[in-house]
Amino acid sequence: GAVVSQHPSWVICKSGTSVKIECRSLDFQATTMFWYRQFPKQSLMLMATSNEGSKATYEQGVEKDKFLINHASLTLSTLTVTSAHPEDSSFYICSARDGVSEQYFGPGTRLTVT
Amino acid sequence: QKEVEQDPGPLSVPEGAIVSLNCTYSNSAFQYFMWYRQYSRKGPELLMYTYSSGNKEDGRFTAQVDKSSKYISLFIRDSQPSDSATYLCAMRGEYNFNKFYFGSGTKLNVKP
């Protein structure tokens, strides 16, 4: 149980384009989902927390207009990186919890912006 | 001062050794303590979860919490090369369910 998937696992996009990453909880209803960013050999950096049907809460320093988060259902959250630039290249990881559990993480999405 | 401190390592041990991974924290309100294992280029995997003080054992893994010292540990017995990964500790308080605090992770290398 407690499986979280992400799609795509790896994406390359050109500078200036937008890319969407999906996060799904496969066997439980995720009332809360989290989006993290991780640079090589560094720990997780929380970007935002989203509750189903509500606007996401962004961490300080994270641009809301650049990283659009939608948590439209209890099993799906999406992160859209708008007008991507090479400095947005990173490993993006989502996690989910059902309100009583701890966080279960997805496998991550590697974004490369050329 | 960070809320959670964790030695980044790397920690290198021979196969079969007992591994001790540790985190210290500053907030006495933390009640839930987790250990995650993260392989390279993968998402973290929840290994152990404990509430308040005490020990919890699961196979070769033992999680220990000492709230009086604000210190948590993860012990791995009979370590295997497949245990080579980065181990992250995490914790949260009783009431703020969605505010988690992560350590920076300790990289473990188990040599065959």
pLDDT, tens digit, 9 for 90 and up, residues B77-112: 999 999 999 999 999 988 877 888 999 999 999 999
Q: Please check whether residue A24 is in contact with residue A92, taking contact to mean a CB–CB distance below 8 angstroms.
A: no
Closest to B43 (Cβ–Cβ): which among A32, A93, A97?
A93
Residue B20 has a pLDDT of: 97
Binary contact (A43, B36; C-beta < 8 A): no
Task: Give pLDDT tens digits for A26-63.
Answer: 999 998 999 999 988 788 899 999 988 888 999 999 99
Q: Give B9 to chain A, closest Cα distance, Å.
A: 11
Task: Give pLDDT tens digits for A66-101.
Answer: 999 999 899 999 999 999 999 999 999 999 998 777
Distance from chain centroid for Cα A74: 15
Binary contact (A6, B43; C-beta < 8 A): yes
Q: What's the rounded Cα separation, in Å, for the pair B88 and A3?
A: 19
Residue A1 has a pLDDT of: 64
Q: Which amino acid is at B39?
A: Y
Q: Give A17 to chain B, closest Cα distance, Å.
A: 24
Residue B32 DSSP symbol: E
Interface probe, candidates B41, B51, B56, chain A, greatest A C-beta count within 10 A: B41
Q: What is the mean pLDDT of residues A14-27?
A: 96
Residue tagged 């859209």 (tokens): A80
